[in-house]
Amino acid sequence: MKAFTPKPYKLFNKIQNYEWGTKNEDAFIPKFIGTNAEPDIPYAELWIGAHPKSPSEIEIDAEHLPLDKIIESYCDEVLGSYVKNKFSGKFPFLLKVLSSAKALSIQLHPNKLQAVKLHTLDPKNYPDDNHKPEIAVAEESLIAIAGFRPVDEIIENLRALPELKFLTGGDLIEKILISKDEVENKELIKQLYRNIMIKAADKEKLSACIKNIVEILNNKSKLSLEEEQFIIQYKLFGEDVGLLSFFFFNIIKLEPGQAIYTGAGVPHAYIKGNIIECMANSDNVVRAGLTNKFKDVNTLLEIMRYDFSHYSIINASMKKDEVIYKTHAEEFEVSCFQKMKSFNKIFQTYNKPAVFLVAEGQLRVKWNLNNDLDELEFSKGESFLIPASLEEYEISASSDVKYYQVTIP
Active site residues: 287
Instruction: Please tell me what DSSP assigns to residue 43.
Output: B
HSE, side-chain direction, 13 A CA sphere, residue 175 = 14
What CA–CA distance (Å, rounded) separates 139 from 96?
Answer: 12
What is the helix, strand, coil percentage profile of the chain, to 5?
A: 30, 30, 40
CA distances from 147 to 41, 134, 260, 291, 360 (A): 32, 14, 11, 19, 32
What CA–CA distance (Å, rounded) separates 88 from 71?
Answer: 11
Q: Burial level of 323, CB count in 10 A (0-12/13-18/19+)? A: buried
The torsion angles phi and psi of 116, rounded to 5 degrees, stand at -60, -45
What CA–CA distance (Å, rounded) separates 366 from 373?
Answer: 8
Please count the residues of the chain: 409
| DSSP notation for 112-159 | HHHHHHHHHH-TTT---SS---EEEEEEEEEEEEEEEPPHHHHHHHHH
Q: Are 338 and 347 in contact (CB under 8 A)?
A: no
Q: Collapsing DSSP states into helix, strand and coil, what is residue 14?
A: strand
Q: Are 332 and 406 in contact (CB under 8 A)?
A: yes
By C-alpha distance, which of 134, 142, 58 is closest to 101? 142
First to last CA, the chain: 31
HSE, side-chain direction, 13 A CA sphere, residue 69 = 13
By C-alpha distance, which of 194, 172, 169, 195 is closest to 185? 172
Query: Going by DSSP bridges, is the β-strand pair 333-339/322-325 parallel, antiparallel, or unpaired?
Result: antiparallel
Neighbour order of strands in the sheet with 354-360: 9-11, 383-386, 354-360, 401-407, 333-339, 322-325
